[in-house]
Amino acid sequence: MKRTIRSRASVSPKPRQRLFGLLATALLALAILTGCSHTPPPPVAIKVPLATGAQVSPAAPITVEAAGGTLTNVVVTNTTDNGQAVPGEFSRGHQTWKSTADPAYASTYHLVVTAKNPANETRTQSFDITTITPTGTAYANVVPAPDLVAENGIGVGQPMVFQFTHPVTNKKDVEKHLHITVTPAQPGGWYWVDDEHVHYRAPQYWKPGTKIHIEADVYGVDLGDGVYGAENNSADYTVHDSWIAKADGSTELLTVFHNGTQIRQMPMSLGSPNYPSHLGPHVVSERAYSVVMDSCTYGVCKGDPNYYRETVYYDLRISNDGEFVHAAPWSVGSQGSSNVSHGCVNLSTDDAQWMYNNFDVGDVVEITNSGGEDLPVWDTYGDWDVPWATWAAGNATQ
């Protein structure tokens, strides 16, 4: 029998096989086409937050940001100050640049910024920033001066004080820029004793050994009426041992406690009934070997039988209206038996010298049974006569 042999090449593919082949070819072509196409990255976006077109506070540094790329060059000049260059630093990835010097008031800054996207396509833009022009500036000084107490520290009764050189009307906002760190931690609060002085204290006297750091970040802050903070300020204090003297007008005795332990008691004389000493805790704000005390400073002048002008030794100022602990050899006969001074705490010369040698700024003299009124909060320092609940509530009304 004769066999017919067919060539494989002559066999026609089935329809299903033909469909799969066409599909594979199309997918291969699509893959090749897709692999060869490329969507370019968008241009880098440059942003300068302070370049709003309006005048801005110089409190914040000048910042430049790049989105979708990196900054390659930033040049900032103060055109108000003869084109003075403004220094700054890039972040690690060059996504941001920040000035390292505070902008000045009443100044215009010109920025020229270059950045690139991932395709190395560069973009350069210019910006302008203008800072506010205040009607005036004021400083936030610290009291006591840190240099004054650097060696001996401060007493347990010393409030923290910022003394502004211009009245503050935006008290609530200014308080947000006042910061304090107390170690070990102790609660406390700010209280305005007048429009220029804001004090901070705890519910009780500071613990001996306490470290206190205070800051007023008020540069660029509106203090009110167009007056702005001239600069930031900060200070560090250390609280020394507790020294508290208790002056009892009913016994005419001054009793001294060192770290809570009674170590000395001495006869004294407080203010007479006509010139009673203020009641309450007083805080030593100044020490002086000698002071010329002149009654004319509070209206009792020559011709008045109560007039006096005398050099007095071993002086510890305990209020701003003339109350001192001091040597009063002329009243030794009355010390321990009657109150005859013009409001001061009179001691013998030996006792006054002992107080002078042991008490320092921030130490406490508590006066009771004097027949006088409470020491006013504004009278350096009447802080401790304000009840804690009142103090903690604050008094910044605007």
Contact between 339 and 218 (Cβ < 8 Å): no
Closest CA to 319 of 354, 275, 265, 358: 275
75-103 exposure pattern, b = at least 16 Cβ within 10 A, e = fewer: ebbbebeeeeebebebeeeebbbebeebb
Closest CA to 159 of 396, 351, 328, 391: 391
Catalytic annotation present for 344: yes
Closest CA to 269 of 354, 345, 364, 352: 345
- The values of phi and psi at residue 352, to 5°, are -65, -40
- Please pick, among 197, 278, 326, 342, the residue that the annotation labels catalytic: 326
- In 230-383, which residue ranges form alpha helices assigned H by DSSP? 349-358
- Please pick, among 177, 199, 282, 344, the residue that the annotation labels catalytic: 344
Q: How many residues does the chain have?
A: 398
Q: How far apart are CA 233 and CA 140, in angstroms?
A: 7
Q: How far apart are CA 164 and CA 301, in angstroms?
A: 33
Q: How far apart are CA 152 and CA 147, in angstroms?
A: 10
SS (H, E, C) 328-347: CHHHCCCCCCCCCECCCEEE
Catalytic annotation present for 36: no
| Catalytic residue IDs | 326, 344
